[in-house]
C-alpha cells in the first residue's frame, strides 16, 4: 500500500486529490492550516481509515526542526506542529504533493507574508521529506509565474513578466522562487521532484468568496446580484476543470525519474516543469453570459424563478494579467494527457455545487 502526503489537503484541489488517491488505494496524510481550506471539503473521506488529517502550517519553518519539536513534544504534546512531526517521523511517504498556498488574490493579499512563506517554507519542507524518504514529489506552481505575459500562448520556456513589488507579488514571486529552490535542489541533490504550472482551474469546492471569476459569476447569478466584470471583459482566460488537473497529477507521478530527466534535457528546460491547463480560450464577457444563461436554464428546468442579475463593468485592479492561455504541448508529449471536460459540463457541475452550498446555509 502506497502512502502519499498532500499539503493543502483541505483545499479546493487538495481535497479532490486526497479523494482520488484514497479511491486508488493509497494511504493519505493531509496537512492544512485551514486558512482557505475547510473540513467540509474532506467530509466524504474524513472517516476513511486510510486517511489522516493534520492541522498544521507548513509556512512555519520549525515544522521539520526536530530539535525544537522534540522539546515541544514534552511541553505541549498536543500542539499541531508536534503531532505533525510525530506522524512525519513514523511515516515513509512514497509520493508528496505540495498544493498548500492561498491561491486567490482576495486571500493571498489579505496575508501576503503567510503566502510568500508558504511557498518558500512549504517547498523546503517537502524537499526535505522527499530526500529523507526518497519519495517522488510534485510541486504545484502556477501560470502566475508568467505574470502579465508578453507572449501568447505561454509555453514553459517563457520567463514571464512579473512585478516584484506589487500587490500580487507575494503569490507570484513566492511561487517563482519556489521553482528556483526546486530546480537547484534537483541539480544539487538529485531529489525526484517535478513541477506543474497550473492555469485557471475551477470546479466544486472552489471558495465561494475567493473573488475569482467563475465562483464570483456563479454566486452573483445565484444570489440575484449584479455580475461584475473588471475592465471591459475582453481579457481572455482559459478554464480547466479540476478532474482534468488531477488526471495530469497522477499521470506525471507515475513516470519514472529517468524518463522525466531525459524528456526535459531534450527540451532544454532547466527543470522538469509542465503547464497544465485548458487551452480553450474565453473572454470574461463570454464567461459571464454563459454562466448567467446556465443558471437561468437550470432554474427554468426546475420551474424556479430565473436570476435577476445583470452584467456590470468595474475598473481593472492593479497588475491584472490581460491575457493568459497555456501551451500544453509538453504535457501532451510527456504524459499523453489533455483536458477532456468541456466548459459547459464543468460549469454545470460547479453551479450544482454552489447551489447546494447556498441552500445549506
Provide the annotated active-site residues: 171
* Share of the chain residues as helix, strand and coil, in percent rounded to the nearest 5: 45, 15, 35
Nearest to 44 by CA among 25, 19, 75: 19
Query: 218 or 273, CB closer to a copy of itself?
Result: 273
Binding mask 114-143 for a copy of itself (x = CB under 8 A): --x---x-----------------------
Query: 111 or 250, CB closer to a copy of itself?
Result: 111
> Which part of the chain contacts a copy of itself (CB under 8 A), choosing from 2-10, 109-117, 252-260, 283-291?
109-117
Q: In whole angstroms, how large is the CA radius of gyration of the chain?
A: 20
CB 284 within 8 A of CB 205: no
Nearest to 250 by CA among 223, 276, 228: 276
Query: 188 or 344, CB closer to a copy of itself?
Result: 188
Residue with cell 509542465: 274
Selected from 9, 149, 174, 326, the binder of a copy of itself by CB under 8 A is 174
> Which part of the chain contacts a copy of itself (CB under 8 A), choosing from 78-86, 156-164, 224-232, 251-259?
156-164
**Sign of the CA dihedral with 342 first, then 206, 235, and 147 last:** negative
Selected from 187, 259, 314, 356, the binder of a copy of itself by CB under 8 A is 187
Selected from 48, 50, 52, 68, the binder of a copy of itself by CB under 8 A is 68
Q: C-beta of 353: minimal distance to a copy of itself in Å? A: 33
3-state SS track over 162-201: CCCCCCCHHHHHHHHHHHHHHHHHHHHHCCCEEEEEECCE
Query: Virtual CA dihedral for 351, 353, 359, 360, nearest 10 degrees?
Result: -160
Binding mask 263-292 for a copy of itself (x = CB under 8 A): ------xxx-x-------------------
Please give the Cα distance from 44 to 73 (Å, whole number).
31
C-alpha distances in Å from residue 179, one per residue of 51, 126, 166, 276, 331: 29, 13, 20, 15, 17
By CB under 8 A, residue 188 contacts a copy of itself: yes
Count of positions (residues) in the chain? 361
Query: 107 or 176, CB closer to a copy of itself?
Result: 176
Selected from 24, 39, 40, 61, the binder of a copy of itself by CB under 8 A is 61
Query: 268 or 303, CB closer to a copy of itself?
Result: 268
> How many residues sit in the footprint of a copy of itself (CB under 8 A)?
37
Give the interface with a copy of itself as residue ranges (CB under 8 A): 61, 68, 112-113, 116, 120, 145, 147, 150, 159-167, 169-170, 173-174, 176-177, 179-185, 187-188, 269-271, 273
Amino acid at each position: 500500500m502506497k502512502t502519499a502526503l498532500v499539503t493543502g489537503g483541505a483545499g479546493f484541489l487538495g481535497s479532490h486529490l486526497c479523494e482520488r488517491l484514497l479511491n486508488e488505494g493509497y494511504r493519505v496524510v493531509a496537512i492544512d492550516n485551514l486558512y482557505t481550506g475547510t473540513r467540509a471539503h474532506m467530509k466524504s473521506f474524513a472517516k476513511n481509515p486510510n486517511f489522516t488529517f493534520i492541522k498544521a502550517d507548513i509556512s512555519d519553518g520549525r515544522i521539520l526542526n526536530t530539535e525544537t519539536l522534540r522539546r515541544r513534544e514534552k511541553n505541549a504534546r498536543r500542539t499541531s506542529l508536534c503531532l505533525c512531526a510525530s506522524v512525519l517521523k513514523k511515516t515513509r511517504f512514497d509520493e508528496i504533493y505540495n498544493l498548500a498556498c492561498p491561491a486567490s488574490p482576495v486571500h493571498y493579499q489579505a496575508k501576503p507574508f503567510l503566502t510568500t512563506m508558504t511557498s518558500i517554507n512549504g517547498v523546503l519542507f517537502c524537499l526535505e521529506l522527499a530526500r529523507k524518504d526518497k519519495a517522488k514529489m510534485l510541486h504545484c506552481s502556477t501560470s502566475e509565474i508568467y505574470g502579465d505575459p508578453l507572449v501568447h500562448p505561454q509555453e514553459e520556456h517563457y520567463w514571464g513578466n512579473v512585478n516584484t513589488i506589487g500587490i500580487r507579488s507575494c503569490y507570484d514571486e513566492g511561487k517563482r522562487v519556489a521553482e528556483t529552490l526546486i530546480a537547484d535542489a534537483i541539480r544539487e541533490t538529485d531529489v525526484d521532484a517535478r513541477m506543474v504550472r497550473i492555469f485557471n482551474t475551477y470546479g466544486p469546492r472552489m471558495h465561494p468568496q475567493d473573488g475569482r471569476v467563475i465562483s464570483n459569476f456563479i454566486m452573483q447569478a445565484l444570489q440575484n446580484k449584479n455580475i461584475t466584470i473588471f475592465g471591459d471583459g475582453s481579457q481572455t482566460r482559459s478554464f480547466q476543470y479540476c478532474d482534468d488537473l488531477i488526471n495530469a497529477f497522477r499521470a506525471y507521478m507515475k513516470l519514472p525519474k529517468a524518463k522525466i530527466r531525459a524528456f526535459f534535457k531534450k527540451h532544454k528546460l532547466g527543470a522538469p516543469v509542465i503547464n497544465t491547463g485548458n487551452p480553450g480560450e474565453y473572454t470574461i464577457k463570454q464567461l459571464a453570459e454563459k454562466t448567467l444563461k446556465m443558471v437561468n436554464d437550470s432554474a427554468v428546468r426546475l420551474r424556479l424563478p430565473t436570476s435577476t442579475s445583470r452584467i456590470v463593468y468595474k475598473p481593472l485592479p492593479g497588475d491584472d494579467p490581460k491575457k493568459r492561455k497555456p501551451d500544453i504541448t509538453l504535457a501532451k508529449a510527456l504524459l499523453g494527457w489533455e483536458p477532456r471536460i468541456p466548459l459547459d459540463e464543468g460549469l454545470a457541475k460547479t453551479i450544482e455545487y454552489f447551489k447546494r452550498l447556498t441552500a445549506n446555509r
